[in-house]
């Protein structure tokens, strides 16, 4: 039985970080949007760690902000600590990470959505899709409602047929005791979307009043405090500390003696777990030579005493969890408020998607977030924003927004998913990005803001600030083009900084390339230079210090673009192409890559196979002969 239908442009399913960004983007782009979620109390929920950002992930948050998304602004409003990670390394891997007040973040995001024009929030369970002519035309709910629409964005997270596991206990449930989605994965399968099953997990939460902080190392935030959003510059706020402790031999003994009782090792879980965020059981098995592991104690907010035990994700039985926690410094008397657990769930094979996150076989159906096989709030939010933008463009009859690997971490993320797929929960890392020196977090606004102008998500204020920032950087770089004679003052500065002294005049920009020379050093001895704000100074120093490397990466980008701009006909039957290995034929026929660059990134397609394709392009694919014997 169904009730009278209601009409929307776009229905977004799920209100986690992907659903939040997708629904806000659709509504702000003028589309009448419905957000359908299992529980309105879980809007913007952080069921796992109380943090946003981190290595690689901080880049995504900055990119979300540059494209007009909400996560960076909401995080800046509700964070309780901010740190810049990897400052001992180069700027390519500098990444912001903030401890969040989880409850305030949820409230901040939910209020923004409730007040957003064109956006309606409804609690309900999506159960089936309607199509007309192969295109999405509506969404049905378990409660009997029909919502007609022209596009749908599925942001189902880890809720599809999810199962919680704690030791011998297995319970059909979503994360944090919430309801799971019973029928959505079947509805996707009915449309021909391929599924897989993954597993992730979370650690216990302990009562902060029962911890001995004197036995742990205090971890304070950065002062001055950077912000995620370029609109906020730097923040001034009292910060809440985190604490560092370590596992030890006794911790390891308790875990290993009970390893057979872990859901992960007892055979109760058949799903694939994440390699880059392993359970504590998995750490001890995979890194048996390590004497100890870092464990961070992180506050969940300023209005609760719950502390998150970062690094201790587990599916061990409850009494074992308590025993192992109490072996560590600072936790000997800890009270466990919530047990850690593993969660397994249905997700899709993301190779069914194109670069706009639309299911290739079903126009108007977009998917974003952990339902695509990723892990993490930031990966989800970035996909949600892109999927929402493209669903709105689809409804407006406009070309989608797509991003290349040389343009954004989000471009790398989507390309990895849609071209390569993922055999395990995918986590964004700086090492996945081959052009990471060009895609720093400090230049995300410069790289991406202009791309979002046609979406309407970028305010005039933001664009004007970007133009002013560019002008300040260009003016500063121009002033550094001047030559400086080897005066005694300059010689003394270089000697004091441990740098070699030039015999002849040297360009100021070249002086700034030196490791131990800062812009303020040059400012102190050259009247031709003007003081810079911290943001401009940081950008100029980075451009100077890594000038040669940046130029080299840009040359790599230019060569890569030549391949990306070499299209492949979409009607090729790769199974008939002689010279390709059997695996390459099968993979190419399945994925139908749009260009040579995408073909080369498909798992199972070798450089030799790419060379064969280039030969066929020169000869013309019509000249292909029946395939011969497979090459080794």
Which sign does the torsion angle of CA 324, 329, 332, 335 carry? Answer: negative
Whether the CB-CB separation of 62 and 428 falls below 8 Å is answered with: no
Whether the CB-CB separation of 575 and 586 falls below 8 Å is answered with: yes
The 3-state DSSP class for residue 126 equals strand
Protein fold of 566-623:
DNA polymerase; domain 1 (1.10.150)
Kindly give the interhelix angle for 377-396 and 57-66, rounded to the nearest 10 degrees: 30
Kindly give the interhelix angle for 534-545 and 547-564, rounded to the nearest 10 degrees: 80
pTM: 0.92
How many other CB atoms are there within 10 angstroms of residue 113's CB atom?
Answer: 22
Chosen CATH of 471-556 out of 1.10.8.60, 3.10.330.20, 1.10.10.1800, 3.30.930.10: 1.10.10.1800
Query: pLDDT averaged over consecutive 10-residue blocks of the chain (632 residues)?
Result: 78 98 98 98 95 96 98 98 94 95 98 98 97 97 97 98 95 94 97 96 97 98 95 93 98 96 83 81 92 97 97 96 98 98 97 97 98 97 98 98 96 94 93 93 95 93 93 96 91 93 91 95 94 94 94 90 85 89 89 88 84 85 48 35
Whether the CB-CB separation of 351 and 418 falls below 8 Å is answered with: yes
Provide the strand spans (E) within 400-504. 483-484
Whether the CB-CB separation of 396 and 25 falls below 8 Å is answered with: no
Residue 257 has phi, psi (to 5 degrees) of -70, -20
Say what the pLDDT of residue 2 is: 54
The segment(s) of the chain belonging to CATH 2.40.30.260 are 205-342
Cα–Cα–Cα angle for 355, 359, 365, nearest 5°? 115
The segment(s) of the chain belonging to CATH 1.10.150.570 are 566-623
Q: 6-200+345-455 architecture in CATH?
A: 3-Layer(bba) Sandwich (3.50)
Q: Which of 355, 375, 308, 364 is nearest to 132 (CA)?
A: 364
**3-state DSSP of 69-105:** CCHHHHHHHHEEEEEEECCCCCHHHCEEEEEECHHHH
**Residue with token string 């890194």:** 287
Say what the pLDDT of residue 236 is: 92
- Cα(76)–Cα(55) distance, rounded to whole angstroms? 18
Say what the pLDDT of residue 276 is: 73
The segment(s) of the chain belonging to CATH 1.10.10.1800 are 471-556
Pairing of strands 272-273, 294-299: unpaired
Say what the pLDDT of residue 622 is: 57
Say what the pLDDT of residue 616 is: 87
Q: How many residues does the chain have?
A: 632
**Distances, alpha carbon 563 to alpha carbons 334, 559, 574, 600, 613, in Å:** 57, 7, 19, 9, 11
Say what the pLDDT of residue 371 is: 98
Task: State the alpha helices, DSSP H only, in 294-408.
Answer: 318-325, 377-396
Say what the pLDDT of residue 627 is: 43
CATH number for the domain formed by residue range(s) 205-342: 2.40.30.260
Structure tokens, 400? 């989608």
Whether the CB-CB separation of 376 and 427 falls below 8 Å is answered with: yes
**Distances, alpha carbon 51 to alpha carbons 135, 192, 211, 623, in Å:** 38, 36, 21, 56
- Cα(256)–Cα(243) distance, rounded to whole angstroms? 25
Torsion angle of C-alpha atoms 431, 436, 442, 447, degrees rounded to 10: -130
Say what the pLDDT of residue 3 is: 60
Say what the pLDDT of residue 631 is: 36
- Cα(23)–Cα(74) distance, rounded to whole angstroms? 15
- Cβ neighbourhood burial of 135 (10 Å; 0-12, 13-18, 19+): middle
Q: Which of 46, 20, 17 is nearest to 33 (CA)?
A: 20
């Amino acid at each position: 039985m169904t009730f009278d239908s209601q009409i929307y442009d776009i229905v977004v399913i799920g209100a986690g970080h992907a659903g939040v960004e997708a629904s806000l983007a659709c509504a702000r782009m003028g589309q009448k949007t419905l957000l359908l979620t299992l529980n309105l109390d879980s809007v913007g929920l952080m069921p796992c760690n109380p943090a946003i950002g981190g290595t690689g992930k901080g880049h995504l948050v900055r990119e979300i902000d540059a494209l007009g998304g909400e996560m960076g602004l909401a995080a800046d409003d509700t964070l309780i600590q901010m740190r810049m990670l990897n400052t001992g390394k180069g700027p390519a891997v500098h990444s912001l990470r903030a401890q969040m007040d989880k409850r305030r973040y949820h409230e901040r995001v939910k209020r923004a959505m409730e007040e957003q024009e064109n956006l309606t929030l409804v609690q309900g369970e999506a159960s089936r899709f309607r199509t007309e002519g192969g295109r999405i035309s509506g969404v049905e709910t378990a409660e009997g409602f029909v919502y007609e629409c022209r596009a749908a964005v599925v942001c189902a997270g880890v809720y599809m047929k999810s199962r919680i596991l704690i030791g011998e206990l297995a319970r059909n449930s979503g994360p944090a005791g919430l309801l799971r989605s019973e029928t959505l994965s079947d509805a996707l399968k009915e449309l021909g979307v391929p599924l897989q099953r993954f597993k992730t997990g979370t650690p216990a939460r302990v009562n902060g009043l029962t911890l001995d902080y004197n036995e742990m190392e205090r971890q304070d935030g950065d002062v001055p405090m950077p912000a995620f959003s370029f609109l906020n510059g730097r923040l001034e706020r009292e910060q809440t500390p985190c604490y560092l402790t370590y596992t030890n031999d006794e911790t390891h003994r308790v875990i290993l003696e009970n390893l057979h009782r872990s859901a992960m090792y007892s055979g109760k879980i058949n799903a694939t777990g994440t390699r880059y965020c392993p359970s504590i059981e998995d750490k001890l098995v995979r890194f048996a030579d390590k004497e100890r592991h870092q464990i961070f104690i992180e506050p969940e907010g300023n209005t609760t005493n719950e502390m998150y035990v970062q690094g201790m994700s587990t599916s061990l039985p409850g009494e074992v969890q308590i025993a192992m926690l109490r072996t560590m410094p600072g936790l000997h008397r800890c009270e466990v408020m919530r047990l850690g657990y593993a969660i397994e769930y249905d997700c899709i094979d993301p190779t069914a998607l194109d670069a706009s996150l639309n299911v290739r076989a079903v126009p108007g159906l977009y998917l974003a977030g952990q339902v695509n096989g990723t892990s993490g709030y930031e990966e989800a939010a970035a996909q949600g924003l892109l999927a929402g933008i493209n669903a709105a463009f689809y409804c407006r009859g406009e070309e989608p927004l797509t991003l290349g690997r040389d343009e954004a971490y989000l471009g790398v993320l989507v390309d990895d998913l849609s071209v390569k797929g993922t055999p395990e929960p995918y986590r964004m890392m700086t090492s996945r990005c081959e052009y990471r020196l060009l895609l720093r977090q400090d230049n995300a606004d410069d790289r991406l803001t202009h791309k979002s102008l046609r979406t309407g998500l970028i305010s005039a204020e933001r664009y004007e600030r970007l133009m002013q920032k560019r002008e300040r950087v260009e003016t500063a770089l121009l002033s550094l083009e001047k030559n400086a004679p080897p005066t005694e003052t300059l010689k003394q500065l270089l000697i004091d900084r441990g740098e070699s002294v030039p015999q002849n005049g040297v360009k100021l920009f070249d002086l700034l390339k030196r490791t131990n020379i800062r812009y303020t050093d040059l400012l102190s001895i050259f009247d031709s230079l003007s003081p810079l704000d911290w943001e401009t100074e940081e950008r100029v120093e980075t451009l100077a210090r890594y000038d040669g490397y940046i130029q080299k990466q840009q040359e790599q980008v230019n060569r890569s673009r030549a391949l990306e701009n070499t299209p492949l006909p979409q009607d090729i039957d790769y199974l008939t192409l002689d010279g390709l290995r059997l695996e390459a034929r099968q993979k190419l026929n399945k994925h139908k890559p749009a260009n040579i660059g995408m073909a080369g990134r498909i798992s199972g397609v070798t450089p030799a196979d790419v060379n064969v394709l280039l030969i066929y392009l020169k000869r013309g694919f019509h000249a292909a002969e029946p395939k011969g014997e497979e090459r080794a």
